[in-house]
Chains A and B, each alone.
Chain A
Amino acid sequence: MAQDELIVVKDLNKSFGKLHVLKNVSTTIKKGEVVAVIGPSGSGKSTFLRCLNLLEQPTSGHVFFEGVDICDKKTNIDLHRQKIGMVFQQFNLFNNMTVLKNITAAPVKIRKMDPKAAEEKALQLLDRVGLRDKANSYPSQLSGGQKQRVAIVRALAMEPDVMLFDEPTSALDPEMVGEVLNVMKDLAHEGMTMVVVTHEMSFAREVSSRVLFMADGEIREDRPSHEMFEDPRDPRLQDFLSKVLNL
């Protein structure tokens, strides 16, 4: 396995009962890549993403993270999840904790980081996304865009090697999409490896280095983003792009 291969997906299949959601999906995600996953709804994008940290147990196939097969029953997935940050469509901030506690909980409880140092770092990260003054607020007191920025910070506090985004802007009011995308752009420019399931074509086009187009549980096209948007080959992709771009 090559040094710069962070995640290798091999012949991944996932079925929910009779519904075959992922069909022999294989791909490789390299260090520093920003991969956008696009496609019509129901194409298996989110399921694919959730298989990468085993929130969804694949029916068959393998996911290698930093060379380790995390689908192997003997692998301690909790250990690897510490290195795989995830951001959800519905934010999923812990409602029973303040913003600061949301961010420091994992570093303190799992990494055994000194609470003071963890707070210090959390405040620095909050500063970066412009939310330092919300440190002692509860999630219910934040707007959607603020929640999502905190959720990103919460994942970053574990210093992950890759960040997974599951439609991070889909549940936001339109005027808040920009503030979240800006944070993600900054991350991308800093060299963070990212896998982003998104409906934001501008993000896929301008920020991501590679695009996976999924339809009916398969990766139909997998190319550098500038190429794909200029010269879509798959007929399903042409159809999809004509619908989402000509609004």
Chain B
Amino acid sequence: MEFFDRMGRIFSRYSSFFGQGVANTLIIAFFAVLLGTLLGTLLAVLKMGKFKPTRWLASAYIEFIRGTPLMIQLMFIFYGLPMLNITFPEVSFIPNFERFAAGIFAMSLNSGAYVAEIIRSGIQAVDKGQAEAARSLGFKENQALVMVVLPQAIKNILPALGNEFVTVIKESSIVSVIGIADLMYQTNSVISVTFITLESLAVAAILYFIMTFVTSRLIAFAERKMANGTR
């Protein structure tokens, strides 16, 4: 098959391009999920909290972010914030830091909204009777949450969080439009040099698939570890 031959040749010739792209994609996805999880946890806590204004604010944020395209969010952060004189600093030893920061920031803000819903639904899926039983014994509300509800909620949350990680890896391809040298950007570079389009895209697709597949296997492994014994 000529097609696969060309794929192989492109990959071996431009492997450092693709390698750089994979590395940058992983860096962005990793930090986006990490910061997104922190933000998502905070949003989930606010949304389930007793204080109405923050509850409303968290809900509004989640709905708005989930209801608008990531592309637009990214543009607003990369082009819009500097107009308000908010800029990401340049860091001399990390090339392109301000672009990376903007990309990770946008991905995190976006992912946080989805993670918040994952955490909230994971907690609320735990039978109410579990917390009631704890309260009836004299445990305080937060004790019941930490000892009984959260350990069970983690089992609902982890698989969905893994899916979110996989989604972020794929969606991060969008940061190529603001000039971050992620896998998608590097693939486009290869295409513009070689004019071999489909074969280059096929190589990128396979690399994306390897990243997402390995991630989902790792998470499935972690799930099995946690499921040992209980339930």
For residue A68, CB closer than 8 A to chain B, the reply is no
**Is there an interface contact between A88 and B137, defined as CB atoms closer than 8 Å?**
no
Indicate if the CB atoms of B136 and A81 lie closer than 8 Å: yes
Interface string of B192-229 (1 = CB under 8 A from A): 00000000000000000000000000000000000001
Excluding A82-B138, A88-B132, A106-B139, 8 further A-B contacts by CB distance (< 8 Å) are A53-B136, A79-B138, A92-B132, A97-B148, A109-B139, A110-B137, A140-B230, A155-B136
For the complex, give the distance between the alpha carbons of A96 and B134 in Å.
13
| Residues of A close to B20: CB separation below 8 A | none
Is residue B53 contacting chain A, with contact meaning CB distance below 8 A?
no
Residues of A within 8 A of B134 (CB): 94
Q: CB-CB < 8 A to A154: which residues of B?
A: 137
Interface centre among A79, A85, A88, A106 (most CB of B within 10 A): A106
Near A by CB (< 8 A), chain B positions 122-160 give 127, 129-130, 132-140, 143, 147-148, 151-152
Q: Would you give the shortest CB distance from B153 to chain A, in whole angstroms?
A: 10
Top 3 A-B residue pairs of the complex, sorted by shortest distance between their CB atoms: A82-B138, A92-B133, A92-B129
Interface residues contributed by chain A, number (CB under 8 Å): 27
B229 touches A138 (CB 8 A): yes
Residues of chain A at the chain B interface (Cβ within 8 Å): 53, 55, 78-79, 81-82, 84-86, 88, 90, 92-97, 105-106, 109-110, 138, 140, 151, 154-155, 158
> B143: which A residues are within 8 A, CB to CB?
109
Does A93 contact B230, Cβ atoms closer than 8 Å? no
A22 to B140 CA separation, bound complex (whole angstroms):
27
Q: Does B50 contact A (CB under 8 A)?
A: no
11 contacts between A and B (CB under 8 A): A53-B136, A78-B135, A78-B140, A85-B136, A94-B134, A94-B147, A94-B148, A95-B231, A96-B152, A109-B147, A110-B137
Is there contact, CB below 8 Å, between A93 and B136? no
Do B138 and A155 have beta carbons less than 8 Å apart? no
- Nearest residue (CB) in A for B140 is A78
B145 to chain A, nearest CB (A): 13
Tell me if B137 and A81 are in contact (CB < 8 A): yes
Min Cβ gap B206→A in Å is 40
CB distance from B65 to the nearest CB of A (A): 32
Q: Which residue of B lies closest to A158 (CB)?
A: B137
Q: How far is the CA of A155 from the CA of B139 in the complex (A)?
A: 13
Q: Which residues of A contact B135 (CB under 8 A)?
A: 55, 78, 81
- From B127, B138, B148, B229, residue with most partner A Cβ within 10 Å: B138
Docked-complex contact A158 and B151, CB < 8 angstroms: no
| Interface contact B129-A88, CB-CB below 8 Å | yes
Bound Cα distance A106, B139 (Å):
7
Residues in B neighbouring A88, C-beta threshold 8 A: 129, 132-133
List, in ascending order, chain A residues with CB within 8 A of B138's CB.
Answer: 78-79, 81-82, 106, 110, 158
